[in-house]
Amino acid sequence: MNDMDRRSMPLFSIGIVMKLTELTARQIRYYEANDLIAPERTKGNQRLFSFNDVDRLLQIKDLLDRGLNMAGIKLLLDEEKKEIPGEIPEKKKKTPANLTDEELRGILKNELNEAGRYGKASMRQGELARFFVRH
């Protein structure tokens, strides 16, 4: 079993995730309703969150603190996924269709990647990574 598997393994009940992230159940469910996360379910339909889910929730919290709304957060987080595949960003390839979205993203990305003023969460975004082995 590799790191990817471990990160996406459904492990945590919503109660634990509430403590880890200092979000309310209402908030977590609302973010799911807005397609920002998609935790697994037990046979009985109860949510089961992975490390990835918790990590993502911490990011969402951070972005909300910075004033973004659901749409903006979704844009940013979805973009991050696309960037992972080890390809070197050769001058930024533009998807012709969604120029407006890409521009928005560009603006957000530059605006946000500054000054790491973070909240008082019991676990800050990024800290979760320490649960895993280094590469």
Partner DNA sequence: ATTTTTATGTTAAATAACCTAACATTCAAT
Partner DNA sequence: ATTGAATGTTAGGTTATTTAACATAAAAAT
And the tokens for 126? 């990024």
**By the rule CB under 7 A, 52 interacts with DNA:** no
Q: By CB under 7 A, is residue 16 in contact with DNA?
A: yes
Within residues 54-83, the interface with DNA by CB under 7 A covers 64, 69-70
- DSSP per residue, the chain: --HHHHHH---B-HHHHHHHHT--HHHHHHHHHTTS---EE-TTS-EEB-HHHHHHHHHHHHHHHTT--HHHHHHHHHHHHHH-SS----S-PPPSTTHHHHHHHHHHHHHHSS-------SS-TTGGGGGS---
Binding-site partner at residue 31 among a second copy, DNA, none, CB < 5 to 8 Å by type: DNA
Which of these segments, 30-38, 70-78, 112-120, 124-132, binds a second copy (CB under 8 A)?
Answer: 124-132
Q: Is residue 135 involved in binding a second copy (CB under 8 A)?
A: no
Q: From the list 27, 29, 32, 48, which residue makes contact with a second copy (rule: CB under 8 A)?
A: 48
Binding site for DNA (CB under 7 A): 13-16, 24-27, 29-31, 34, 42-47, 64, 69-70
Binding site for a second copy (CB under 8 A): 1, 3, 6, 11-13, 15-16, 42, 48, 123, 127, 130-134
